[in-house]
Chains A and B, each alone.
Chain A
Amino acid sequence: MTDSQAVIRVNGVSRWFGSVVAVSEMTFDVMPGITGLLGPNGAGKTTLLRMMTGLAATSTGTVTVFGEPVRDNPPLYRRIGVMSEHETVYGFMKGREFVTMMGQLRGVERLEEAVDRAIERVDLADAQHRPMGTYSRGMRQRMRLAATLVHEPEILILDEPLNGADPRQRVHFQHLLRELAGEGRTIVLSSHILEEVEQLAETVLLVVNGKLAASGGFRAIRAALDQRPYHVRVVCDAPRRLAALAVGIGSVEAVNLDPDGALIILSRRVLDLQLELPRLAQSAGISLRRVEPLDDSLESVFGYLVEG
């Protein structure tokens, strides 16, 4: 996909509040599909999303959506659906009334059908005639998502959308997001929960201390971290002999023996290890039973970056 197909373009965006820099010099493009905005609480994700939706101004830099500035450009909201992290709802309003009102505000045609469809999508048809003040946290989130979907937006920007969802709702929500992405929509979702992003997002934007620490596919991010130690657990029939051989590999920093007899190898270049370890084992007549990366999860990548 080329840059010209970028749906959202964030270019040199910074935002500061007094002397506090919330977002610093971020530049990236968002393409169709699911993009995960990942970072710890306070990293600047919400501020960034608010600038991407036009709710907040940038201090410097520009945000464009479909090539147009998003700030002070109301017509663009026909094509964007935004669900903020705040769970406050109009407690006096019934769920269906809320979704209907949001549809009216967005000029939805065939409103009743659109409302039915949106509420069915979030699986809340049974509760649609109850005041939202009586909803659980997860139900409020889902009805807010229905309101976000009612005008069938091409872009969905969701700030911590899985907050308050129970495991069943979480699975349903993830299925729904994949379905929406499959329809060609562009979805940006933020989370501080690594598992959520790892399971859903094709592209990850890692935000740490207001800066874009890494971006790309999950594995691409991992590859960018080749200066970080990489843990591999190796189970074989002669661990002490293999340990002695493994320390000879240039990129290996340390080799430890687990209490259960497995080797834990720390390497700075995983490619070296992938190539050299089987060769060494074969030449020494050692049988490798299991080789598994211990930190090939977003959590470990995230941990490295945050701690670094």
Chain B
Amino acid sequence: MGSVYRLTLRQLSGRWRLVIMTLLAALPVITATLTLRSTTAPTVAEFENAALSALLAGSIVPLVVLAIAAAAFSNEVEDRTLANLTLSPLPRWRIAVPKLLGVLTIAMPFAAVSAFGTAYVAFLADLRAAIAVTVAAVAAVALYGSAFTWLGLVTTQAIGVGLLYVVLWEGFFSGLVAGVRLLSIRHYAIALMHGVDPRRFAAGDHLSLPAALVVSAVVFAGFLWLSIRRLRRMDVP
């Protein structure tokens, strides 16, 4: 399992990929800093909507994870190197799990540091709020990671399909139709944030913390299971 994990880390840690991710991760921190320096300081609700919901949860985290997770398998499919892994006697979960772990290892530090930095700056060193935002970001990385890793196995257009999901489903439809939020990773993450620090993030129509935890676990495990199943059944090029 360690071989697949190490291979995945090397595949996904190309210099340009890391540079772009660093820039993306820095963006919400910079935005938060500039917002605080403006003459009209935002309310928590305004900040949450602008910097956390829209920028961090709505675009930065999913985009960072999409760029990494979609490549984990789809690059191997395109390069036709996936057979090196599937022609081994490893059970398929021992290929899917380290691939996903590799994705999380690369993506999580960027998302976590970005989330913590943004919240710490914005909430004037309120540690609990910063931790709540970080937990939400980490959960979002895990959920998007699991989903997009599977997506990379089922389509060579994983980036495009992932973008459609993030922009249309999570960004557009979930704002229009309340029921869509129940099928939105972004809203599970926001629900976790509210659950961890209800003092700071109390308002809204979010899921309860237990419900968010259960749904997140189901989504994470579900997409991982789909990846394993796909590895067993797909025609490997």
- Interface residues of A toward B: which range? 20 to 34
Q: Are the C-beta atoms of B235 and A57 separated by less than 8 Å?
A: yes
Instruction: Kindly state whether residue B79 has any CB partner on chain A within 8 Å.
Output: yes
Asked if B87 and A82 make an inter-chain contact with CB atoms under 8 angstroms apart, the answer reads yes
Contact A55 B232 (CB under 8 A): no
Residue pair A105, B88 in contact (C-beta under 8 Å)? yes
A233-288 with Cβ < 8 A to chain B: none
Chain A residues with CB under 8 A of B84: 102, 105, 147
CA distance A96 to B70 in the complex (A): 28
Number of B interface residues, CB 8 Å?
24
Q: A50 and B91: CB pair below 8 A? A: no
Given contact pairs A84-B83, A88-B80, A90-B81, A106 touches B88 in the complex (Cβ within 8 A): yes
Stretch with Cβ within 8 A of A (4 or more), from B2-10, B125-133, B217-225: B2-10
Q: Chain B residues with Cβ under 8 A from A90's Cβ? A: 7, 10-11, 81
Nearest residue (CB) in B for A51 is B235
| B10 and A93 contact, CB distance less than 8 A | yes
Q: Which of B37-82 contact A (CB under 8 A)?
A: 79-81
Q: Which residue of A lies closest to B236 (CB)?
A: A55
* Given A72-B232, A93-B10, A101-B3, A53-B81 contact (CB < 8 Å): no
Complex CA gap A175/B126 in Å reads 72
Query: What residues of A have a CB within 8 angstroms of the CB of B232 in the complex?
Result: 72
Contacts of B4 in A (CB 8 A): 105
Q: Is the CB of A55 within 8 A of B80?
A: no
Q: Which of A53, A55, A56, A75 has the most CB of B within 10 A?
A: A55
Interface membership of A92, Cβ < 8 A: yes
| Chain B hits for A55, CB < 8 A | 83, 86-87, 235-236
Question: Is the CB of A78 closer than 8 A to any CB of chain B?
Answer: yes
Cβ–Cβ contact B89 & A53, under 8 A: no
- Please state if B89 and A77 are interface contacts (CB–CB under 8 Å): yes
Interchain CB contact (< 8 A) of B87 among A57, A77, A86, A93: A77
- A184 at interface (Cβ–Cβ under 8 A)? no
Tell me, in angstroms, the Cα distance from A155 to B71 when the chains sit together.
32
Closest Cβ of chain B to A137, distance in Å, is 15
Instruction: Give A86 to B79 CA distance when docked, in angstroms.
Output: 9
Question: When chains A and B are docked, how far (Å) is the Cα of A81 from the Cα of B91?
Answer: 17
Within 8 A of A (CB), among B1-28: 2-4, 7, 10-11
- Asked if B211 is at the interface of the complex by the 8 Å CB criterion, the answer is no
Interface residues of B (CB under 8 A from A): 2-4, 7, 10-11, 79-81, 83-92, 232-233, 235-237
Contacts A/B (CB < 8 Å), 12 sampled: A50-B236, A55-B83, A56-B235, A57-B235, A72-B232, A74-B90, A74-B91, A74-B92, A90-B10, A101-B3, A105-B90, A107-B89
